[in-house]
Amino acid sequence: MGVIAGRPMRMRTQVAPDRQTRRGVVAVLAASLVAPMLLALSTSSTTAGAATAAVFPVVQANATGVPPTGWSTAIRSAGSGMRKAGGPLTATTTGSGKPAIFGLSSQSKVLELVADGAGGRPWNTYAVSTLTGTGPVNAGVAPLLEPGGALDVFAVTTAGHLLLLRQDGGAWTASDLTTATSGPNVTGSPMALLSGGHIVVLTRTANGRVLETVDDSLHGGRYSTYNLTALASGPKVANDLSAIDSPNGDGLLHIHGVDAGGHLVEYVNNDSGGRYWNAYDLTAAAAGPTLKGDPSALVWGGRTRILGLTVEGHAAMYTATVSGGSTTWTTKDLSARAAGTPTFRSAPSAAVAGSALLVAGTTIDKHLVTLVVAAPQVGPQAQDISQAVPGIPTFTGRASVLVHNGRASVFASALTLPVAGTVGVYAYPSPGRALSDGWPIIGVTGAIGTCSSPWTGLGFTPHNSNDEQTGFAIQNSGRKVPWMSYWTVSGPTNKKCHKRKDQSPAAFYKVANEGAIWVAHQIDAYAADGLGIKPDAVILDDEGYPDFHSGFASVSPSMAPQFAAYVQGWVDGLASVDPSLSPGVYVPQSEYLAFHVKQLSIPTYIAVAWGGSTPPHRLPGVDGSNIKGFIAFFVNSNPAQECALAHGAVDLLSSWGAPWNTLQFDAGVACKP
């Protein structure tokens, strides 16, 4: 803990034309020194970066709950013309209110992936460098949304120039701010923010000087560049920068970096000690840990917080407390306070989600992990997204956290795309044909609903059922192929298949429980025929009598208790006979939402349509961590189109991140993946 005293409080008036309110001392006392200081930094030195970038699939992890309590994932770079992008990824919100991600192509060109819904696709990719005629840039660009709706993207070229790529009214333009301000060459990644109504861009030179490029219109152009290291007589930095305005409205801008010794340093325009800009050693002030990587600053709980990565790989948080004109700094090791002590490979990112602090990053074992701190005095809760959501187990690089419409997302680079193994077929002409055609997952119906106990079993042939044939086909192939076994169970009906008077939750529990007990006995009997494997998922399907939706056709939220009881009856019935069987439930998206299935702990398989002008579409809110697959049925009237359309459907289903998805073709149609 330490104290930095003597920082006078200054109010910043909004956007005066001469910017005297923010840069008054520099403009009045040092106007003649600004240009010489810039020219003293040689502009002939270039920082040439690599012309190529390592690229990876772009994954969005969506939080459930505020603060986050669970996660679902989707591969946002699939099915949109771009499968991979180089990081670190940066996320923002566009002028139209859409989430957007920025990364690099394999040629180190700027790419934008945005949820604009164009062309019937949820996400689309735009080659910003191509649209602006600009060349390769360093990894890590800085997007910034202007109050008027224009989207700015700042990047450093591999030749060391600061670029502004600007989208206003749909069109993209480019400006070289290094040339425009006669500034020095820079390196690394820029950082951009709105401060006091002005756009501020922070960069560093190859020898560690801190530069501020700001739209102050003071020197013959919109932007000017200032050497803050010279103005503050401050330390040089070894990493990229972060910055934030004071949360108490005093008009001060705080810039943070890490010096060559691992100390967290701060530049602030507090007009103290005869200098407008001053620098402070926060590691010394707080007796805090030394850091590596780039810091990340934000305001949480009314205080400035700076997240950094310690040399041990822990997520550390520096906190400022302002009292009586002095600032006290303290530190916490968030990793050490969390279960499992997550150790990160790269500097964590952070954002405020509701009242909670969300910290995210990739760990040394390549997992994507978050630390959720519900309140300043509450210990962090570690959430391993890689473990919670199967199918995309490993990640690399620095993550980016975005809170959009009150909902938190983490964008990260996946090391692998699970396309090949996550989409199979349901109701294929034969299971053997599905295997020989190369489909990696097989779904099959064991039986459909009946109007009396056990409420299922129609179409089931002992010792020769479609379900058992599927098991033998997989066993004989010698391959490990997920086997999804569906069973339709009717709701409470009479022998005429009409709805019973008793439609209570207990009645729904009873029919599903009796059905599950019967199903478990049938599956266990397969072993007597020589089958040595069991289905990977035994899935309840509510397409039975009395309304071909097992009594749930109205999809009324008032039926949520009945549906929960129906599901619990299935789970309990299977477990009472064979606890090794894994239960699941199959529902359309409307039921998932109306019946609050997200809150149920059972693995869930979501029905969606596909075909022709109807690509699989995922409704908002269908995003729970219990979703294990999307089950797509063909709705086009022209079966001849099925095989041609299947590849796009596979890509889109794969992009949603669930491990076990299937396509259903028309009867008799077979298409290779």
411 pLDDT tier (thresholds 50, 70, 90) = very high
Structure tokens at 620: 């908002």
| Cα separation values, 445 from 28, 382, 429, 550, 578, Å | 80, 39, 13, 16, 19
- The pLDDT of 460-472, averaged and rounded, is 94
| pLDDT of 264 higher than 70 | yes
| pLDDT of 283 higher than 50 | yes
Sheet holding 264-268, edge to edge: 242-245, 253-258, 264-268, 278-281
**Which of 374-388, 451-465, 642-656 is modeled with the greatest confidence?**
451-465
Residue that wins the pLDDT comparison between 40 and 420:
420
123 pLDDT tier (thresholds 50, 70, 90) = confident
| pLDDT of 128 higher than 50 | yes
Residue of 462, 603, 485, 575 lying closest to 533 (CA atoms): 485
| pLDDT of 41 higher than 60 | no
| Whether the Cβ atoms of residue 297 and residue 306 lie closer than 8 Å to each other | yes
2 pLDDT tier (thresholds 50, 70, 90) = very low
Burial of 28 (0-12, 13-18, 19+ CB in 10 A): exposed
> Quick one: pLDDT at residue 645?
83
Structure tokens at 573: 């019935």
261 pLDDT tier (thresholds 50, 70, 90) = very high
| pLDDT of 46 higher than 50 | no
| pLDDT of 102 higher than 50 | yes
> Quick one: pLDDT at residue 610?
86
Query: What are the pLDDT digits (tens) for 194-209?
Result: 998 999 999 999 999 9
pLDDT, the chain, mean: 86
Query: What are the pLDDT digits (tens) for 298-331?
Result: 999 999 999 999 999 999 999 999 888 789 999 9
User: Angle at which helices 505-525 and 560-577 pack, to 10 degrees?
Assistant: 30
Could you give the angle at the alpha carbon of 113 between the alpha carbons of 108 and 118, nearest 5°?
135
Distance CA(275)–CA(270), nearest Å, equals 8
359 pLDDT tier (thresholds 50, 70, 90) = very high
- The pLDDT of 150-167, averaged and rounded, is 96
Structure tokens at 194: 């709105």
| Whether the Cβ atoms of residue 618 and residue 610 lie closer than 8 Å to each other | no
Distance CA(382)–CA(401), nearest Å, equals 16
| pLDDT of 456 higher than 90 | yes
495 pLDDT tier (thresholds 50, 70, 90) = confident
> Quick one: pLDDT at residue 83?
57
Residue of 188, 209, 349, 344 lying closest to 267 (CA atoms): 209
269 pLDDT tier (thresholds 50, 70, 90) = very high
Structure tokens at 316: 């550390």
| Cα separation values, 268 from 190, 261, 290, 391, Å | 18, 20, 20, 45
Distance CA(177)–CA(224), nearest Å, equals 9
Residue 79: φ, ψ to 5°: 70, 15
Could you give the angle at the alpha carbon of 164 between the alpha carbons of 161 and 166, nearest 5°?
160
Residue that wins the pLDDT comparison between 560 and 71:
560
Residue 432 φ/ψ region, left for φ over 0, alpha for ψ in the -120 to 50 degree band, beta for the rest: alpha
> Quick one: pLDDT at residue 45?
35
3-state secondary structure at position 585:
strand
| pLDDT of 15 higher than 70 | no
613 pLDDT tier (thresholds 50, 70, 90) = low
Q: Which domains does the chain have, with CATH numbers?
A: 20-414 (2.120.10.70), 439-664 (3.20.20)
Could you give the angle at the alpha carbon of 198 between the alpha carbons of 195 and 199, nearest 5°?
90
Distance CA(209)–CA(235), nearest Å, equals 8
| pLDDT of 509 higher than 60 | yes
Distance CA(101)–CA(190), nearest Å, equals 16
| Whether the Cβ atoms of residue 237 and residue 213 lie closer than 8 Å to each other | no
**Contact partners, residue 59, CB within 8 Å, separation at least 6:** 73, 74, 75, 76, 368, 392, 395, 411, 412, 413, 414, 657
Burial of 519 (0-12, 13-18, 19+ CB in 10 A): buried
| pLDDT of 414 higher than 60 | yes
25 pLDDT tier (thresholds 50, 70, 90) = very low
| pLDDT of 393 higher than 80 | no
Enumerate the β-bridge partners of residue 505: none
| Whether the Cβ atoms of residue 503 and residue 554 lie closer than 8 Å to each other | no
Sheet holding 124-127, edge to edge: 86-93, 99-104, 110-114, 124-127
- The pLDDT of 554-581, averaged and rounded, is 96
pTM above 0.85, yes or no: no
